[in-house]
Structures are given as C-alpha cells and as structure tokens.
Chain A
Amino acid sequence: MKLPAQLRPVLRNPQFVAGVILLLVVLFSALGADMIAPKSFEEMDIPSSLAPPSRQYPLGTDHYGRCIFSRVVYGSRIALRVGLIVVTIETVIGVSLGLLAGYYGGRVDRVISFVTDLTWALPPIVLALAIVTALGPSLNNVVIAIALVSWAGYSRLIRSKAQSLKNMPYVEAARALGESDFSIMFRYILPNTYGLIIVLATLSVPAAILSTTALSFLGLGSQPPAPDWGVILNEGIAYMHSAPWISIFPGLALVCTALGFNLLGEGLRDLLDPRMKV
C-alpha cells in the first residue's frame, strides 16, 4: 500500500506515532471494555480485597476486592467521553465568540474581550469550583463547569485569525456579492480556521480530562462506584500503605491518555502549519 505523500513526514515523526499508538490503546479499551476487562467494574470479591497484582487480578484489587484492571479499563470510557464533551462545548462557545469579536470589532469586540479577560482573571479550577458549588456535585455539573471556564483560549486565537481574514479579497468579494454577515463568518471565515481549531481542540483534551478527573478526585464529580480514574485515586489514598497499586495504575492510564493527545496535537500542528502559534 502506498501512503499519500503528505502523510509520510508525519509517520516519520516518532512523537506523533507514539501519540497515535497511545490513543489507539485507550480508544480500544474504551470501545472493547466489555471484552477486555475480566470482571465488571463493580463486581466485589471481599475475600481477596487489597490483593496485590496477580494472574487473577492483573493490577490487584481495592478494598472491596474489585478488579483494578477492569475499573481502569472501564474508566477510559468516562475519560474519553468527558474529554470529548468538554472540548465540544468550549469549542462552540470560544469559536462563536471569537468569530463575532474578530469580525465585528468595535463595541462587540470590547464586550467579548472583557468577558474573555474576566474568565482569565481567576484560576479556571477555582471558577469551576464556584460553579460546582452552585450546581451541586455530579459529573455532568463538573463537565459544564470546566467547559464554561476554559473557552477563552479559543476565542482569543479565533478572534485574531478572524481579524486578519476579514480583510482578505475573497471576503470582500463575498460582501460585494451581498452575502450576509452570518454567511461570511460561518461559510467564508470559519472554514479557514478549521486547522487551528482541530489542533487547539486536540491539545485541549488533556486539560479537560485532567481537570474533570481532579474534581472527581475531590469528590465533586463522578460518585462511587463509578470507575472514574479520579474516584479510584481518591479511594486509593486511604490504602496507600497497604495497597499502593490502587493509586498507581489509574494515574498511569490518565497520563498515557493526556500524553497521547498532546503528542497527537503537536504532530497535527506540525503537519497542518508548523508556524501555527497554539
């Protein structure tokens, strides 16, 4: 099989390939969790609680005798879903606001830029905590909170991109033909920012997953017995002395997922536009 010429330099980039492999493993375990995991994520086996890794329990068991390997495998579903949803919401908010600010300029730009600056004036995790306080602890509320505080990066980049694109001759031509503002923004300017958006979205997934897991770790997101990696880590703290494997493996899975998205994002950036500033 002959590869398309554009793909060859990317496949020669070891970091990109490593990222793709990591993500394939995570994706595979999320989709095939029912086949890969030897047990269900909530099946208890009290007699073998806190057992070290063995043939029966590859990554050991927790205080209820639940199989850590199965819980970590099922946890990948939560992590990927959460990452995807958060990034989708923040992309929609950030890109729309960035387009409006960059295209219209003037007062619209000033108002949107002020709101953007405002979300950057507080540490995102603190702002998310405030929102979770108001909404109450649950994974859905954490997802909403994280998405609401982390779109500023998109809106800033898309704004400056839209500012430079709106004066391009083809946009002026569209305007001269009587296209509406809406159509110019979404049919003429937006498609030219797709590369930027894809790279930005890929690079935002790790932060989205890390923050939601952190809040689940604090007990404000997913609730037990959900196999959320943050929940497993939280439960592991009490058994750090006797059963450190509970605390080690979910974190390892989290790091592999985050690293995979980072490497993929950086590879995509090099492929699409090496000079891109993300």
Chain B
Amino acid sequence: MLNYALRRMAFGLLVVFAVTIVLFSVMQLMPGDPIRLVADPSRIPAWRIEELRRSLGLDKPAYIQYFYWLNRLLHGDFGHSIVSGQSVSSLIAARLPYTLLLALGSLVLHYVIAVPLGLFAALRANSRIDRTIVLVVTVLRTLPGFWLGILMMILFAIKLKIFPISGYQGPLSAVLPVLTLTLPALGGTVRLTRSEVLETIREPFVLTAYAKGLPGRTVRVRHILRNALIPVTVMFFLSLPWIVGGSVIIENVFAWPGMGRLLWKAITNQDLPIVQGIIVIIAVLTVISNTIGDIISGVLDPRIRIELEEVGG
C-alpha cells in the first residue's frame, strides 16, 4: 500500500514538474524581450541594460533560467506583478481562501442535495420519480455556468432581492456563486450515488441486515448509503479541478474576489508572473486532490490499486 501511495505521489510531482516546463516554454515563446518588463531600452543606456540582463540572469541559456525560476518557485517566490509591483504570492494568498470557500460550499451541496437524491432515485429505481430525477440532472448538465449565474442574479438578486448581486459582502454573497458552480455538476454525483446504491442493495450483507430484523431506515443509512458514499467521496476529489476550473468563469460573472478573477485580470493585462503563479498553484492543488482521491480509492478498494499500477502510474 505504501508503495502504491508513494508511486502516486511521485507521479504527482512529475506532473507538477512537467507543468512548470510547459509554462516556462510558453513564457519563452512569447514575443518581446523580457528586459522590457523592467526597463525601457530607449531611455536607459545599452551598457546598463546589459548589466541588468546579467543581474537578472537573462544572459544565461534558457534551461539555466528555467532552473533559476523553478528554484524561486520552490522558495515560494512567484515574482512580482508587472502592473502593480506587488508580490504574486501575497496576491494569490489573499484570493485563494475565497476560491476555496466556493469549492467547500460546492462539496457541502453535493452531499446535501446530490447524495440524498441519488439514494432516493435508487430506492425507487425505474419509477416515474426516478426517471424525473435523472432527466432533470441531465438537463442541468447542459446549462452553461456563466448563463446560469446570470439567470440566478436576475431572479434572486434583482427580482426577489434575496441575495447580494455580486462581489463579496459577507457570507450570503457566496450562495449564488456556489449554487451556480454546483447545479450543473450535480448530475454526476446523483448518477454515481444511484448506481452505487443499486449495486450495494444486491450485496449479501444487506440481506443479512434485513434478516437480522433491523429497521429499514437503519439498513438504508448504515449499510447501503455508507458503502455507496466511498466512491462519491473519491469522485469529489477527482472532480475538484473541474470545480476550480469552473470557478474561474463563475467568479468573473459574480465579480467574486477569488483566484479566477485575479487570473482573468492578469490575462487581460498580460501580467505574466501572476498568470504563471496561479496556474502553478492550480496545478499543485489539482495534483494534490487527484492523489488524495487515488490513494483513498486504493486504500478502500485493492482492485483499483492493481488496475492503476498496470496502467503504469
């Protein structure tokens, strides 16, 4: 088991490493001389530019520059914003909690809405209500998040005036973005819970539980649901990156002060250090959540562990 967990972590590190190489190459391919970011060559003498170039390490070959950059990343130094001059790590640190708040809210909603719906649908499999639930979540899946967000704002913020329309003005502001982020994704969790419950119901231990004379409610919660929750938890971790990706767009709809909004502003300003910093952070978060998901499922189900090892992770 330890061997498996170590292999997953090593793979995760390799992925983060590869992401930094890709990012660095993109940066190298960008048109323009990077020295322009710190000095205007038309106003500063050439010898001074050369000196700057040397002091910044820009005279070195690209791969040496890459290792310098990687070294700084490892020490938490993501550079400084070209526009505001603030340190990128402090900018990200100020925004990250807001994005994580959205992800956390989404996690809670998945358990509060999707899991009970999936359980409910499975216990009444193939009934009209089951088909309705499956149809509704299928339609929800095609809703573009940014449009759903606009509709929510029109309905709940402008017409009904229940929630603040945008920005962060206290915890209530999180309700609409979290709903927008979660509703289209509910379908996956509902379907997974439903199929897991349907599978668990057929297990002999469920029959035993009923045969012991346990009340139906106890069997449903303690025997069926508990086992079905395992894959749902794993899937949540595996889909966390998609939630973070979705929040990049949703945050901009709601002017939510998270990382996604920062990323968008940086892209429109061509503020490369911020873009790189955020993408590295998102890659690290993604790899961590994928690795946690893989390890949980490996611990709980040895068959998955073997399958993944065969794929060559």
Contacts and interface: CB of A to CB of B under 8 A. Distances in A.
Interface of A: 110, 113, 117-118, 121-126, 129-134, 137, 206, 210, 213-214, 217-220, 230, 233, 236-237, 240-241, 244, 247-248, 250-251, 254-255, 258-259, 262
The A contact surface, by secondary structure, is helix
A146 B150 CA distance: 23
B312 A126 contact: no
B178 interface: no
A218 B242 CA distance: 18
B312 A125 contact: no
B18 A118 contact: yes
Contacts of B253: 237
A129 B151 contact: no
B268 A258 contact: no
Contacts of B282: 122-123, 126
Contacts of B206: none
Given A113-B311, A123-B282, A132 B267 contact: yes
B117 interface: no
15 contacts: A113-B312, A121-B15, A121-B290, A122-B19, A125-B245, A126-B248, A129-B263, A134-B29, A214-B144, A214-B249, A220-B267, A247-B150, A255-B147, A262-B138, A262-B141
A273 to B, nearest CB: 20
Given A129-B267, A251-B144, 10 more contacts: A125-B248, A126-B244, A126-B263, A130-B23, A134-B27, A218-B249, A233-B146, A240-B158, A244-B154, A254-B147
A18 to B, nearest CB: 11
The B contact surface, by secondary structure, is helix
A186 B268 CA distance: 43
B193 interface: no
Interface of B: 11, 15, 18-19, 23, 26-27, 29-30, 138-139, 141-147, 150-151, 153-154, 158, 241-242, 244-246, 248-249, 252-253, 263-264, 267-268, 270, 272, 275, 279, 282-283, 286-287, 290, 311-313
Nearest to A266: B138
Nearest to A250: B147
Contact of B268 (A122, A134, A219, A251): A219
A236 B264 contact: no
Contact of A121 (B244, B267, B283): B283
B245 A123 contact: yes
Contacts of B150: 233, 236-237, 240, 247, 251
Given A122-B241, A122-B283, A255-B147, A133 B154 contact: no
B133 to A, nearest CB: 16
Contacts of B144: 210, 213-214, 251, 254-255, 258
Contacts of A129: 248, 263-264, 267, 275, 279
Contacts of A133: 26, 267, 270, 272, 275
Contact of A217 (B146, B244, B275, B286): B146
Q: What 8 pairs across the A-B complex have the smallest Cβ distances?
A: A123-B245, A251-B147, A125-B245, A258-B142, A123-B241, A121-B15, A134-B26, A247-B150
B293 to A, nearest CB: 12
A255 B146 CA distance: 12
A45 B17 CA distance: 55
B8 to A, nearest CB: 12
Nearest to B138: A262
Most buried by B among A124, A230, A240: A240
A121 B287 contact: yes
